[in-house]
């Protein structure tokens, strides 16, 4: 937790284990990923680069997304370029194979919109098929 420059890694209240709640503080995908080097339990394993990190998956609620009205703030801030605009359908698209679940899009969305249209489902919840909302 101390190795995380933005303070995204916090202690889970229920059991004290380190966790990232991307809806509260996004992982900034630091260049050297100091959290991995600091992890003494091998819960975080080394990766080639941050494109190989898998914390979760972003999903978009198109009924509240304002991308069709010109908002593309999340697209420009995505560190792995997993977001793009489908100008034909006027929808925001998430490239699932690129999304690492850092939560940057969710944080940006909450600063520019009244309702959060993009949310990250943590990887631990993806196996249950809980991908949309």
pTM strictly above 0.75: yes
C-alpha triplet 72, 74, 77: angle, nearest 5°: 115
CATH 3.40.50.2300 describes domain 9-125: no
* Cβ–Cβ < 8 Å for 124, 73: no
* Cβ–Cβ < 8 Å for 55, 32: no
Copy the structure tokens of residue 59. Answer: 């999903």
Number of H helices, E strands in the chain: 4, 6
* Cβ–Cβ < 8 Å for 120, 106: yes
Please state the φ and ψ torsions of residue 107, each to the nearest 5 degrees: -65, -40
Pairwise CA distance, residues 108 & 9, whole Å:
19
Other C-beta atoms within 10 Å of 57: how many?
21
Q: How far is CA 110 from the centre of its chain?
A: 13
pLDDT 10s per residue in the chain (133 long)? Answer: 999 999 999 998 999 889 999 999 999 999 899 999 999 888 888 999 888 999 999 999 999 999 989 899 999 999 999 999 999 988 999 999 999 999 999 999 999 988 999 999 998 888 655 444 4
pLDDT in tens, 58-84: 999 999 999 989 899 999 999 999 999
């Amino acid at each position: 937790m101390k190795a995380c420059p933005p303070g995204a890694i916090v202690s889970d209240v229920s059991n004290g284990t380190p966790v990232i709640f991307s809806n509260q503080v996004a992982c900034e995908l630091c260049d050297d990923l100091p959290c991995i080097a600091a992890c003494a339990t091998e819960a975080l394993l080394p990766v080639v680069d941050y494109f190989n990190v898998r914390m979760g998956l972003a999903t978009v609620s198109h009924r509240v997304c304002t991308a069709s009205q010109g908002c593309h703030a999340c697209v420009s801030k995505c560190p792995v370029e997993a977001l793009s605009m489908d100008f034909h359908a006027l929808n925001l698209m998430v490239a699932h194979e690129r999304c690492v679940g850092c939560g940057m899009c969710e944080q940006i969305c909450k600063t520019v919109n009244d309702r959060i249209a993009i949310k990250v489902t943590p990887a631990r919840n993806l196996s249950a098929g809980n991908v949309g909302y």
